[in-house]
Amino acid sequence: MSWFRIAVVLVLPVWLAACGFEPLYGRGPAKDIPEDFAFIQIEPIKDRIGHMLHNQLRDTLTPKGAPAKPRYVLKVTLTESVQDTAIQRTAFAVRANLVLNAAFSLHDATTKGSVLSGNAISTAGFSHQFAEYGTLAGEKDARERAVRDLAEEIRVRLGVYFKRS
């Protein structure tokens, strides 16, 4: 091993500690983030896919159940679109992207004021099949993957907010 690599291996941890790097979900003197998640009430989201996102958020943010006295209220508005991306010469689409866009806002439960708002987008691809069932199954799978991605994105953004405040 060269001297340069040894120096990098020895200096990198010291440099990361000096720059203030700390893991988002690490234990330490900062407050515990999942504890804050437990006080979030998730408002119902419109349509079937909204119900899927609501359940995914509930499972990731408040797995022990809805809070009895919520400190925060999470509101999400969801839109879905399908975009054909690969089209054959016969004008038959063979590939498509399912795009989910979630506009979310976190409100203080007592003052009703918004404390955080954002937009999360997830794209999942699927193939068009000659058999309709194959296309529907692929689209359903893409929708489930996109919902999981959106829930994780919202969870991370909430975690960053609680970590900073």
User: What pLDDT sits at residue 14?
Assistant: 67
Report pLDDT for 22: 62
Helix (H) or strand (E) holding 15: helix 3-18
- Under 8 Å between Cβ of 69 and 37: no
Sign of CA dihedral 44, 79, 120, 117: negative
Q: What is the pLDDT of residues 66-85, one digit of tens each?
A: 888 999 999 999 999 988 87
Q: Which fold has domain 32-164?
A: Double Stranded RNA Binding Domain (3.30.160)
pTM: 0.76
Residues lower than pLDDT 50 in the chain: 29-32
Q: What is the pLDDT of residues 7-33, one digit of tens each?
A: 767 776 766 666 665 665 555 544 445
pLDDT at 83: 87
- The domain locations on the chain are 32-164
If you search the block for the tokens 């291996």, which residue do you land on? 9
Chain CA centroid to CA 66, Å = 19
Q: What is the pLDDT of residue 1?
A: 56
CB atoms within 10 A of CB 152: 15
